[in-house]
Amino acid sequence: MFNINDPFYQDLCTPYKTENNTDMPLSARKDYIYNNKDSQCQSNCQFSSYLLNSLYINCSCNIEQKEEKGEKETKKFSGKTLY
């Protein structure tokens, strides 16, 4: 499903039935399945697997941590300051 070089997207003879039991042309497969924005990972993530039971995709993401400059002031609370 996520490999554009798969016969599903390249071979006219690969069958596919829609919910209405009709065939789907290769161009429509690419447009409606492969290029579907709902089944893609975020820009900083890559597809890692498809979870068949839940119909979710699993993405691996690189998280960039920004280093904060300067010190944060830490406030201490006591019973008197909360009251």
- Concatenating the DSSP letter of every residue in 11-62 gives -TTS--B-TTS-B--HHHHIIIIIT-GGGS--TTEEEEEEETTTTEEEEEE-
In a domain, 83, yes or no: no
Return mean pLDDT, the chain: 76
In a domain, 1, yes or no: no
Average pLDDT over residues 4-12: 85
Number of domains in the chain: 1
Higher per-residue confidence, 74 vs 23: 23
Q: Which domain holds residue 28?
A: 7-61
In a domain, 11, yes or no: yes
In a domain, 82, yes or no: no
What pTM was computed for the model? 0.43
In a domain, 25, yes or no: yes
Label residue 1 by pLDDT band (50, 70, 90).
low
Higher per-residue confidence, 56 vs 52: 56
